[in-house]
Structures are given as C-alpha cells and as structure tokens.
Structure 1
C-alpha cells in the first residue's frame, strides 16, 4: 500500500479553492481537508458542492461550500469574504476554476471571447488580489494558479481557452515579483490530460488515448489525485523557496 506525504504546515491552515465542486477541484477539496486544513471552496454547481461538503462534514474541519459565479467579480469577492469570516484569514489560494469547452475560430464572437477569458483567467487575478492582504499580514502564503498543457502542445479547437491558459503563466510571474517581498509565493500548476469523468465522457476516445500513449513518457492515466499531490506541496511550507515557476504534472508529455 502506497503511503503519501502529510504536511504538518497545512494543519489548521485556511485554504481557498475555486471550482471545487467537481473533477480536479473536488479532489483538491478532499485532499486538503484530509490534511487537516480549513477548506473553503467556491463553485457554481450547488448540488455537487453541497454533496461534497456533506460527505466531508466529519473531518477535523468540515469544509465550507459557497455558491458563486466566479465570472461575476463582486460575487467572487463576496464568496471569499464568507470563507474568511468562517475560517479566518486565507493562507493558501488554489485558482482551479476553468472551462475547457471546445470551440472553433469561426464560431468565436466578441461575447464568447470575453466569457472565455472571464471563466479561465480574469477571476484568478481578482482572487489573488483579494487574499494577498491576508497573506501579507500572516508573513507569507501561497497562490497556485492552474494552467494547461493544451497551449504548450499547440492544441487547436479552443482558441480562447488556450489563450487564457497561456496568459496564466504571465500572471503568475508578474504576481510572484510583486508579492515576493511579502513572502507570498505564486506558482502555476500545469495538469496534463487528466482523466476526469467529464474528459472521459466528452473527449477521450480511442484516438485521444493513442495521442496520450504517444505523447506521455509514462503511459499511465494522469488522475486528479496526481494534481492534488503537487498542489499540497505547493501550498505547504515545504515549497518555501518555489515561486514564479511552472510545475507540470503530465506524465512527461511536454
């Protein structure tokens, strides 16, 4: 039986996770809760978020689910404040929320472009800005922005998504410089093609599996828990001198 790391510095630490109700986000909520962290998570999916919070209610700290549409910045900031009021100042932020809906160049409009940027990039900046004063007062903290392998592979078929996710790298490096004097670390966690229920249901067919087998050095499925284990390390004090970096978890594809 494999035994994975426990991070004492995460015990009783307030952790905010966006997009935490399903898929990778739900695994993040589960893993951070298991570390004894005080986990607040935000999502638009009320049913899934409530179900997850109920399932983990017996933990050291029962996680708090807050419903909000993260593309509405006022709603995002209100949700963050609810987490803060419930658990105290936020010490770690996992900017996980995104939507990798496929779309063509031809069907992209000005409105869908703005909507894609809002759901995949804009909220990461405003969430980071909101929690930074908490971290500054605490003497430090960790912000983990979630990127994507897609733009690194020159993937087509979703130009707004790939543009947004490539911009996350620039956001990370800019914030790392500005927040660094306050011991706030900012990194990008770049998942490979993670075999979530959504991916398997919508996009992973035999051709996709063949692409994965050719691309990855380790021909095993990348799972949500692989991403969560890297997130735990980046949020914990163990990664104290890691900032402004990409941490890729993709089985060796890029």
Structure 2
C-alpha cells in the first residue's frame, strides 16, 4: 500500500468535523481513500474489511501522519450478523453514525456458464446484500441524530455492458434500486441516500490484475478526460454527499468516470 496522499488543496467541510462515519471495505483501494478523506476532515471513522494486513497498515499510516486512528475490525460482510454486530460495536465507541459508505465490493471475473447457485448467492452477498443490511443497522442512530447520509457505491460497469462479470453487473445495477427504493421513506427523517458510480479507477488491484495495454487504449477511447481516475476522485464525491452542502441531494446517482458514460 502506498503512503496516504493528504489532499491539502481539496474542499474542506467543517460540518464533518467530529461526525462519525462507517465505511464497508475500507482497508484498501477506493475504500481506503474514503477512510483517509474523512479522517482528514476530522471525522470519527470506523471501517470493516477482510484484509487485516492492509487495514492495520492504513490505520498506522494515518496515525503516523498525525491524524486520528480509525476504528476498524476484520469482518466478512457475507455474514450479516457479524456486519451488523461490527456496526453496533463501532457505534458504542464512536457514537451514532452520521454517514454510511457502502463501498465493499468484489469484481471477480467469471463466465455465464461457470456460475453456480452458490457462487451467484456469494456475489450478491458481497456486492448488494451487505449494503442493505448495513443501511438497516445505521438507520436508528441516524434518526436519533436527526438525519444522515448513506452513500452506496455503484459502477458504470453494467451500464457500459462490460461482459467479464455478469453477477457483479447484476448486483451493481441493483444499487440504484436500493438508493431509490429507500430514499423516500428515509427522507422523512432527513436521511439522504445516494449512489456514487465510479468508472475504471486505478487502484493497485486493478493495475495488477486487469489493466493491460488494450485497457489503457479503451480508457483513452471512452473517457472525455485524458487523466486516469484515482480513488481520491471518488472519495471527493463521497465527502460532498456526506456533507451539509448536499443537504438537498437524495435518490440520485452521481457518476465519477472521466466522462465515459
């Protein structure tokens, strides 16, 4: 894992100072950038991940940079009871959560023919089901706070008809359903629910596993902007949606893809 990049010239949201935020899949990649971004804003951050080494290293790096050490716990989000227990444990330390970021995902490649019912259920459990039950767990606390923000991480993958991961595409297409299916009911309590859909983000995992010369050419053909999308670009949109500046934004999809769609 590279050293955390502090976005000193990025937007500052004073309202996030001291607020509690929970991030799923926060140990690496986009999730780690989101954890860093909230920590830099002075928020009280908790996250879960299955990657223990990366999570511990992230917490150490943030503390070494003079920032508050985030609360974290190893958790396999396929276990709903364990996920909701982790959220409760973190809330007992940090207080009710003002923001939830449903980031956890796995874009493991697979074929249509190779999918079994068990594999299908596992893909949904990681990429869609966990988001619903994390939302369910934080809602009572957000009601006590008088409002909150849920940010669900989607994807442009299913929208551009990427064929390498049909189960992932199905699960990610359902993220907008989760957002729009809960926003009206939760909005009565000033709880906002939005989707952030990234394009092809240059995480270390993506670069190591999937980025090829042809992939680079595909980005150049499809993005309007020439720069490569970084995890911090996605985190910046998440920060905005969690902030008071987005107080009237809900039931929407915000796409961060360099103009691919």
| Structure-1-length-normalised TM-score | 0.98
In structure 1, the partner of 2:76 is: 69
Please give the per-residue CA displacement for 1:24-72, whole angstroms capped at 9, x wherever unaligned. 1111111100000000000011111111112222545321111110110
CA-to-aligned-CA distance 1:191-233 (integer Å, 9 cap, x gap):
0100111001111101111111111000210000000000100
SS of 1:204's equivalent in the other structure is coil
CA distance in 1, matches of 2:105, 2:111: 18
SS at match of 2:130: helix
- Which of residues 201, 205, 208 in structure 2 aligns to 1:201? 208
Matching residue of 1:15: 21
Aligned counterparts, 1:40-55, within 5 A: 40-55=46-61
1:220 is aligned to 2:227: yes
Give the root-mean-square deviation of aligned CA atoms: 1.2
- Of 71, 81, 87 in structure 2, the residue corresponding to residue 80 of structure 1 is 87
User: Within the alignment, does 1:3 sit opposite 2:9 as a pair?
Assistant: yes
Between the aligned partners of 1:64 and 1:57, the Cα distance in structure 2 is 11
Match in the other structure for 1:242: 249
Give the 3-state SS of the residue equivalent to 2:39 in structure 1.
helix
Match of 2:4 in 1: none
Taking the aligned partners of 1:202 and 1:49, their CA distance within structure 2 comes to: 20
Give the length in aligned residue pairs.
254
The residue number in structure 1 matching 2:132 is 125
Aligned match for 2:110, one of 92, 103, 125: 103
Query: TM-score, normalized by length of structure 2?
Result: 0.95
User: Where does residue 180 of structure 1 map in the other structure?
Assistant: 187
Secondary structure at 1:77 match in 2: helix
Distance 2:90 2:158 in 1: 33
Partner SS state of residue 15, structure 1 = strand
Structural mapping, 1:156-171, within 5 Å: 156-171=163-178
Asked if 1:150 corresponds to 2:157, the answer is yes
Deviations 1:77-134 (A, max 9, x none): 1110111011011110000000000100011110100000000000000000110111
Cα pair 1:26 1:52 within 8 Å, conserved: yes
Using the alignment, how far apart are the partners of 1:2 and 1:60 within structure 2?
A: 13
- State the distance in 1 between where 2:113 and 2:138 align: 38
The superposition leaves residues 158-188 of structure 1 with CA deviations (integer Å, 9 ceiling, x where unpaired) of 1100000000001100111110100000000
Match of 2:43 in 1: 37
2-structure distance, mates of 1:11, 1:60:
12
Q: Distance in 1 between the 2:67 and 2:247 partners?
A: 25
Matched, 1:230 2:230: no
Q: Tell me the distance in 2 between the aligned counterparts of 1:2 and 1:64.
A: 23
Structure 1 unaligned segments of length 5 or more: list them.
Answer: none
Cα distance in 2 for residues equivalent to 1:88 and 1:54: 22
